[in-house]
Chain A
């Protein structure tokens, strides 16, 4: 099942759908249960071949010592958890972990806060509100290479519009992308921009599900807009907020493209996150090091799954 908010938004959650599951078997429309299996079989085979198997291969890479030759011949030496130990003991590990924490944490915080503010703003429809809300989807739809290169040019030290804007206020130009002090900030800013539409759309559809009477009752009681938000909107929106934030966490953890295209994780590893580090080890240099790369990637999966399982639990609870 998809999220309950999604079902309402797509308008597909017709009441007949939920009919009691216990009686379902007796009323199977097409005789044999194998017919259902037949329809799902291509997907199951696909999942095994193109999800499970690559995952197994990636675990396999991480417990062997692979180089390019061993890759083709398939005779890499088994090293157990050595790659994981090497990665965790590496000087880069604390840096990458901290950068990941900042990248994910700060991005989510601002995406959520701005997305929520906009969702509340757009809740009472006004002229053009639907049209403007649609335009807010644009950053989310653009190919990442497009957004990343646009931001890179806007943040260019000498000819970027951002520095020239700051200069108009008498501020010194900032070497956004080329200075280790600001490179992480630069990719976080771009990433916040990318994530606002997603937060806006989900939170907006969550707001639509809060009955209007609740607001009317509150305003009859003389509560101001600020009070209504904190006493009513925010608490009632909590399940949707939790889902939005957890999904945001899972998706932000694995971001590679935006960082790689803008900074390649540099300068001096200042914007290196775990996902980017993994990408760089495997594909970013002339010397592919798949074994440490997959060890980093698998650590990332573990972190993502922790949040992911929280999300699934929350969503299940929402459904009942």
Chain B
């Protein structure tokens, strides 16, 4: 950082050039996905492939709008359900551990760290065994519950870390004014923590939206299909229509793009804070 203050642009232009080159290399698959999504079906098997979509077609996107809207809606619903459940569970727990000096708070944190390490496939089998009896297989609430297990430990850890930084004087002042623990939580702690709420919500949504393992195990025979399974079924069924597959993939990437554009700093903070991804 310090170097930049002194460094003249002239001295660093080659770094920018190199940085752009690395970024282009890294993002090539993303470009390729967009490129293929715009390629005419008759050109898909060209050798060499068309590097630029000079003659773009939107038939792939047409197929998405004709066929994939219900799947996108289902994934949206599951994502929002997951966000609500995760924040509702994690924020009060973070408050209890960080500010109310919960007994056994450290143990709870330890359990949460370990919980993140359990393979999703093991959880899926456990959920399957339970859901068979409860009749929650192939149901949206069942899938929301299972997907939330990806985000809840992360959420608690993030809320705890953030809320530990809230000055205790603030809470004492609220107490002096006669506010109850609940009132303090709702009117003081939550408004201060809104960036953490945003970060946790973004990740909870994204992970639920992206989930494949739970969807492909717990909702295999459902009459609804989330977008991940829809793409998966697409790949299995017709390997000739790769422009449509890639168009669906592009559309399925929109939440990730939105996240990056509007909440980039929270994303980086989230990666380092919870350091999780399933």
Contacts and interface: CB of A to CB of B under 8 A. Distances in A.
A50 B150 CA distance: 11
A51 B2 CA distance: 47
Interface string B24-55: 00110110110010000000111111000000
A135 B27 contact: yes
B119 A193 contact: no
A35 B181 contact: yes
A71 B276 CA distance: 33
B272 A126 contact: no
Contacts of A320: none
Given A10-B161, A54-B126, A128-B16, A254 B119 contact: yes
Nearest to B206: A141
A1 B213 contact: no
A150 B30 CA distance: 8
Contacts of A6: 161, 269, 272-275
A29 B95 CA distance: 12
Contacts of A60: 129
B84 interface: no
A10 B212 contact: no
A58 B126 contact: yes
B242 A40 contact: no
A145 B49 contact: no
B264 to A, nearest CB: 5
A287 to B, nearest CB: 14
Interface in A194-208: 196-198, 201-202, 205
Nearest to B115: A51
Given A55-B122, A141-B267, A167-B48, A39 B32 contact: no
B272 A39 contact: no
B48 to A, nearest CB: 4
Interface in B74-99: 88-90, 92-93, 95-99
B245 to A, nearest CB: 6
Q: Which of B32, B129, B216 has the most CB of A within 10 A?
A: B129
Interface in B5-30: 7, 9, 12-13, 15-16, 18-20, 22-23, 26-27, 29-30
B122 A17 contact: no
B165 A12 contact: yes
B76 to A, nearest CB: 13
Given A28-B100, A141-B260, 17 more contacts: A2-B161, A9-B268, A10-B273, A30-B180, A43-B108, A50-B149, A58-B123, A61-B129, A72-B133, A121-B15, A129-B15, A132-B22, A142-B256, A144-B228, A158-B47, A282-B217, A290-B128
13 contacts: A33-B101, A54-B123, A60-B129, A137-B260, A144-B210, A149-B231, A149-B245, A154-B32, A159-B49, A251-B276, A254-B121, A297-B119, A304-B119
Interface of B: 1-4, 7, 9, 12-13, 15-16, 18-20, 22-23, 26-27, 29-30, 32-33, 36, 44-49, 88-90, 92-93, 95-103, 105, 108-130, 132-133, 145-146, 148-149, 152, 156-158, 160-162, 164-168, 171-172, 175, 180-181, 184-185, 206, 209-210, 212-213, 216-217, 220, 227-228, 231-232, 235, 242, 245-246, 249, 252-253, 256, 259-260, 264, 267-269, 271-278
Question: 4 shortest A-B CB distances, which residue pairs?
Answer: A54-B126, A254-B119, A143-B210, A36-B100
